Structure 1
């Protein structure tokens, strides 16, 4: 089930994000970096900015956060984050979430969106491409939680 997130979902959302990072980014970052991600910090963040969540058997297993573009002046809106717990990868949860995020952006009056994805993340890049997103040539070095890597911008008309 896809539904709007609530502040009380914050810890479950943080756990999904951390598990997804630890599995999906282990080829990009060290175990030490990935194990150092703070559950408390992530929970505080998601309590302030609840995303759309996906539930299976009343358990949060994924989420998507969309809104105005805040890092890029070339786009109106942005898919800021989308994560699914690794135990639920390849089961349609991510597809349902990205569709819900895009629908929300359309409802809010946006006609285009961008997202940034790690350059060396072929799994995510295939996922976005299958959902109709395309790399537009923009790249930059970015940093999250003290971890730096090259990111590629994808765009989509909504």
Structure 2
């Protein structure tokens, strides 16, 4: 496995992983039409290129194939970062790729805290973050294109 900054030539692979993992993860949680609309807005090639140019965006590759990605915010003045997204190809989950992406991003950015927001019914996501030491710091309702999500905000303290 190799982790590196995403290259513009890898955007199509990242877009494909986003679509596969979003539909897999949020089936039964977020209606398909809401997922499809979100993906077309947040993971189109122009937006991915902009995210790459403005924030740390890492890919995990095995045999030169992108199998996962993680997008962090830039480190804030207070030392914190937001984990905006971490998604893996559904067939390659539970193989250490997500852990490696999270660890790589933390090593590169050296934050005091990492924050992430996860839908409360996303059991796989919540379980992953809990196993990595994240703790719930807030819960709230999020209006996601007319669909109310129960969102959990979690934090990983890296100062100790």
Q: Is the 8 A contact 2:41 2:47 kept in 1?
A: no
SS of aligned partner of 1:38: helix
Work out whether residues 13 and 43 of structure 1, in 8 Å CA contact, stay in contact via their aligned partners in 2: no
Q: 1:57-76 residue pairs with structure 2 within 5 A?
A: 57-68=63-74, 76=80
| Runs of 5+ consecutive residues of structure 2 not aligned to the other structure | none
1: distance between equivalents of 2:12 and 2:6? 11
1:86 is aligned to 2:90:
yes
In the alignment, the residues of structure 2 paired with residue 63 and residue 146 of structure 1 have an alpha-carbon distance, to the nearest angstrom, of 27
2:149 counterpart residue number = 149
Q: Of residues 28, 44, 47 in structure 2, which corresponds to 1:45?
A: 47
The two structures, once aligned, show a CA RMSD in angstroms of 2.5
Alpha-carbon distance between aligned partners in 1 of 2:35 and 2:6, rounded to the nearest angstrom: 25
SS of the aligned residue for 1:78 comes to strand
Q: What is the distance in 2 between the residues matched to 1:23 and 1:125? A: 15
The change in CA–CA distance for 1:7 and 1:146 in structure 2 (over 3 A counts) is farther
Shift of 1:149: 0.8
How far off is 1:98 after superposition?
A: 1.0
Return closer, same or farther for 1:49/1:121 CA change in 2, 3 Å cut-off.
Answer: same
Q: Deviations over 1:7-31 (max 9, x none)?
A: 2211211111111000010021223
1:1-158 counterparts in 2 under 5 A?
1-36=2-37, 37-38=39-40, 42-50=44-52, 51-68=57-74, 76-106=80-110, 110-136=111-137, 138-144=138-144, 147-158=147-158
Moved more, 91-100 or 145-154: 145-154
1:8–1:47 CA contact under 8 A, matched in 2: no
Is the alpha carbon distance of 1:40 and 1:95 closer, same or farther for their aligned partners in structure 2, counting shifts above 3 Å? Answer: closer
Aligned residues: 152
- Measured in 1, the distance between the counterparts of 2:99 and 2:139 equals 25
The unaligned stretches of length 5 or more in structure 1 are none
